[in-house]
Amino acid sequence: MLRIKSYLNNIVAKILFIRLSKNKKSYSNYLNKPRLFWGPIPILNNKYNSIALNKIGFDSKSVMNGYYDSINKKTDYDLYLMDLIDVNSLSFFDRKLYWRFSNIYILNYLLEHFDIFHIPYSGLLFGNSDFKYLEKNLLKKFNKKIIVLPYGGDSYQYSKVINESLKYGLMISYPKAGIFENKITEQVNFWQQYADFRMGCIAIDGFSLLEILPVNYLVIDTEIWQSKKIFSEADGINEEVTIIHTPNHRGFKGTEFIIDAINKLKLEGLKINLVLLENIQNSQVQEIMLGQADILVEQLIFIGYALSGIEGMASGIPVLSNLSDNRYTDLFRRYSYLNECPILSSTPENIIGNLRILIKNPLLRKELGIAGRKFAEKYHSYNLAQKMYTKIYDKIWNKRDFELWNYFHPLNPDSYNNQSPKIEHPLFENKIPEALLNTLNK
């Protein structure tokens, strides 16, 4: 009986797909700038990118399937999928069908109102169901463009992750993704094949094609995220040093190693205030980073840095995160801007030593904080989003014949990197050089 019901639902859904689209000659908006969709997963980067593109004249909207009320507000995003359709305006027949096939009506709305869809590998509305093919076919039929932006949970295939500790951290934080890896793989393969553009990032495991190679494509509003003007002279002896950490994914971030390191440093007699920022609004995080924090330890297991690290750099505080695995980092040193990044690479094995040095050397903290602010302004601001996505749209929408492989190549004189001064800082490959180390309090 259930199979028959499912079969009938599929037939009705396919008829609806055809009926809602057959009378539309074209949903395209080629005479004007493309209208931009960012979603549907409620991550703050969708909001920030949408605002950035709006500021240079695009009609851009963040459109979500919900929001995380522990860290976001509903007003963080422009629209929500289930609010797009005025059900009362539908015919009696469509009102009856809407509650069972709402995603089909929502897709029809999206086709009318947007031209370029920025989505994760988990897809737009239909996920890994059979209807993803119909969804893709309609997007292609009406000349819509799809840019896939991996955020982690949509694309990590654990058996393909080359760093074993990272794999284990992912299993601790997100065990279900390991159970359903085959579905994630199917989705990644699907959009790798059918997307119009595939964004790259430092988490390159499991992708067959990446068409632009930033170290990290996340951006924030660097006007709202102001840098501190007064830097603490505390050295853990004369005054307490405040260290913050955002442990929302503890296994993935190595939170237990951070807590253990700070406890051991306290036993050495150092005055340390550890603040764990978990399940609090982003606005509160901003206040604490700007007003209280001296050091941010972002993560020790994941290779790279994420939104918290960018917020820390924008706030003018030194950031520690794991940039130790050359199988990932060599690529981004050669072909992107990782060598300009002033994050101090830290692992469970060296976190105690790195923290001790930063605690005892407030001038080094200040130098790294100032460089971090400049790095955030150059590589994680609205200006970066505007220039990078405009280039991508020129390629896929305006059909300009060029490649973006070397858009961040440090040796390319026309790269984004070389349009402004190189970020100078005291680290070498995200480590403290021996010559500098010999001059510091240890």
pLDDT at residue 16 greater than cutoff 80: no
44-70 pLDDT, tens digit per residue, is 999 999 999 999 999 999 999 998 887
Average pLDDT over residues 150-166: 95
pLDDT at residue 358 greater than cutoff 60: yes
| pLDDT on residue 322 | 98
| pLDDT on residue 100 | 80
pLDDT at residue 24 greater than cutoff 60: no
**Range in 14-28, 81-95, 374-388, 397-411 the model is least confident about:** 14-28
269-322 pLDDT, tens digit per residue, is 999 999 999 888 888 899 999 999 999 999 999 999 999 999 999 999 999 999
Q: Find out whether 427 and 417 touch, Cβ atoms under 8 Å.
A: no
Burial 155-176 (b: 16+ CB within 10 A, else e): bbbbeebebebbbebbeebbee
Helix, strand, coil shares of the chain, percent, nearest 5, are 45, 10, 45
pLDDT at residue 258 greater than cutoff 70: yes
pLDDT at residue 425 greater than cutoff 80: yes
Class in CATH terms, 241-380+421-437: alpha beta
Quote the mean pLDDT of the chain.
92
pLDDT at residue 32 greater than cutoff 90: no
Report the C-alpha gap between 362 and 306 in whole angstroms: 24
| pLDDT on residue 91 | 85
Q: Dihedral of the CA atoms 100, 102, 108, 112 (nearest 10)?
A: 160
| pLDDT on residue 4 | 53
**What percent of the chain shows pLDDT beyond 70?**
93
Residue with tokens 């539309």: 24
Instruction: Write the single-letter amino acid at 312.
Output: G
pLDDT at residue 183 greater than cutoff 70: yes
Average pLDDT over residues 102-116: 91
| pLDDT on residue 2 | 44
Q: Where in the chain is the domain with CATH 3.40.50.2000?
A: 241-380+421-437
CB atoms within 10 A of CB 243: 24
